[in-house]
Amino acid sequence: MEQQKLPNTTVALVLAIVAFLGCCCFGIGGIIPAGIALYLANKDKKKYEENPELYSNYKQANTARTVAIIALVISCVFLIYTIVNFVFFGGMEAYDTFLEEFQREMERQQNL
């Protein structure tokens, strides 16, 4: 019998890479694609475990799963970091106040 390719592997791999780039460039932007990629990769993993001799591209599915997990962890850590910043430092109002104070201090330093 001819070996087939797992059906969701390519999509899961592309989504995992997009999620990884999203979490590295935009912080929490990788949560949704990483979650979808992890779901699809796990679905393919179950399919492979049911009948391993039928499928040929399990390594790619496993790679997609690994990259999706890494992207999901990084995105979740950044999300927690963002929430902690808003809770402990007062959110955007505190950030605006900080920027105003910083700008005043820079102007004061230039005038000396």
Pairwise pLDDT comparison (23 vs 51), residue with the higher score: 51
With cut-offs at 50, 70 and 90, classify the pLDDT of residue 25. confident
Is 75's pLDDT higher than 80? Answer: yes
pTM higher than the cut 0.95: no
pLDDT of residue 1: 63
Cβ–Cβ < 8 Å for 60, 17: no
Per-residue b or e along 58-83, where b marks 16 or more CB atoms closer than 10 Å to that residue's CB: bebbebbbebbebbbebbeebeeeee
Res 97: pLDDT: 82
Whether the CA torsion 89, 94, 100, 105 is positive or negative: it is negative
